[in-house]
Structure 1
């Protein structure tokens, strides 16, 4: 876990640059200073027992993106940062429980925040952002913070990191290169058009361009590489077999007529 501990400090320092106010009401135990962030991170980390395409490192990258985009978009960091940290906390449980991770994650976040004295207005805003971050569910983000979180989550599926995560995910499901390639074309190359904030749109342009170059190169190599050669060889062999069978059948028919 040492690498995560190091990243914890990076996140805390990044967020601390963008805020000086408390997350919770005066007199309550947890504040949005480095200690409060570290405490949240330590809690969130307990849900991630192993790495993966949606591991803790993904959450940390999304949180960093939220800090960057949120500052530019004037988001309320007291809502945005907790939502980012908790957005995928229930992802490891989804397959086991069958509960969509955005719903269960929102519940876990609300329970944690309430136990630390967060006011209900902020909890509702954080819960909405978590519930709305998964664009495929059809829940539209209504607040700046929810839009920033949704954009940050999509951005982490683009560019070089997005490519790496795609093949990690394919391996996790026992899929191959063709499946990962389909995912890139059917989903990832469409993400650029789904950004809500101007800041995210700018970041998405560069990541989309890299993703497109990779997809084009991969398609070329798959079409011209060993797999293509094997397919062509098999196709030629099949055609030759059909021709040979046709000639053989024709000879047998000629012999039959001669013996009449």
Structure 2
């Protein structure tokens, strides 16, 4: 989404930029923050061996991190909270299934940081944990409290829109071993079937960036539903 979209927000254009420019911004944050650099290094080391996580992997975390930079900077969020939280938002997958991975990751955050040898003040850990706990966002009935938590939720949800959203949704459903009928149903109810498109994201920047990609997702899954219809239920 970010490589091809821009949006009018509050009368000004938020320019979504090239990977090179976004990577440079991320590198700037890493150069300024030793702890963030350690969080990135340790989290990548933990996720890279997890070959069953075909969707919720380091590649996904990296894209979400770039999303968070664009949304967080546009919204004026505290990036000292946003960035470590978005990098660690899926750590719950390292110890259990998709269900409740946000709350599980939030509860395990102090232990995770201790294992990494990374020391944050308790109040900062609490802020990071709040972001991780509700990172599925209002679409999944987890309502983030505070700007930073909303940015983290929207950075993750932005992956579900546009051509990349189709790609990530299919990979996620494969990771969960869902049948085709559930793949189609989940896309219809969570992304393309919402009566109020703005209700699926928690920041104005996120809503503006995501909305142009909704039709791409809608068109694909409607076509998939039509193509699958003649085959019906595969159970015998």
Bucket of the pairwise TM-score, normalised by the shorter protein = 0.7 to 0.9
Alignment correspondent of 1:75: 77
How big is each residue's C-alpha offset from its partner over 1:91-136, in whole Å with a ceiling of 9 and x where there is no partner? 14223xx983212212333234464221122111101111111236
Determine if the alignment matches structure 1 residue 214 to structure 2 residue 220: yes
**Unaligned stretches of 5+ residues in structure 1:** 1-8, 23-29, 232-260
SS at match of 1:63: helix
In structure 2, do the counterparts of structure 1 residues 168 and 192 end up closer, same or farther at CA, with 3 Å as the change threshold?
A: farther
Determine if the alignment matches structure 1 residue 147 to structure 2 residue 158: no
Q: How does 1:121-200 map to 2 (within 5 A)?
A: 121-135=123-137, 138-189=141-192, 190=194, 192-200=198-206
Runs of 4+ in 1 over 6 A off after TM superposition: 9-12
**Unaligned stretches of 5+ residues in structure 2:** 1-19
Relative to the length of structure 2, the TM-score reads 0.73
Alignment correspondent of 2:107: 107
Relative to the length of structure 1, the TM-score reads 0.67
SS at match of 1:53: coil
SS at match of 1:156: helix
Determine if the alignment matches structure 1 residue 59 to structure 2 residue 70: no
- In our comparison, the structure showing a higher alpha carbon Rg is 1
Q: Distance in 2 between matches of 1:113 and 1:10?
A: 29
Higher helix share: 1
SS at match of 2:160: coil
Q: Distance in 1 between matches of 2:89 and 2:121?
A: 19
Q: Is the 8 A contact 1:18 1:67 kept in 2?
A: no
Q: Is the 8 A contact 1:70 1:76 kept in 2?
A: yes
Q: Distance in 2 between matches of 1:76 and 1:20?
A: 17
How big is each residue's C-alpha offset from its partner over 1:3-39, in whole Å with a ceiling of 9 and x where there is no partner? xxxxxx99864323468754xxxxxxx444xx43543
Q: Is the 8 A contact 2:92 2:101 kept in 1?
A: yes
Q: Distance in 2 between matches of 1:167 and 1:212?
A: 14
Number of equivalenced pairs: 208
In structure 2, do the counterparts of structure 1 residues 52 and 127 end up closer, same or farther at CA, with 3 Å as the change threshold?
A: same
Deviation at 1:183, TM superposition (A): 1.2
Q: Distance in 1 between matches of 2:53 and 2:103?
A: 22
Q: Is the 8 A contact 1:11 1:60 kept in 2?
A: no
In structure 2, do the counterparts of structure 1 residues 44 and 85 end up closer, same or farther at CA, with 3 Å as the change threshold?
A: farther
Determine if the alignment matches structure 1 residue 202 to structure 2 residue 208: yes
Greater shift after overlay, 164-173 or 210-219? 164-173
Deviation at 1:200, TM superposition (A): 0.6
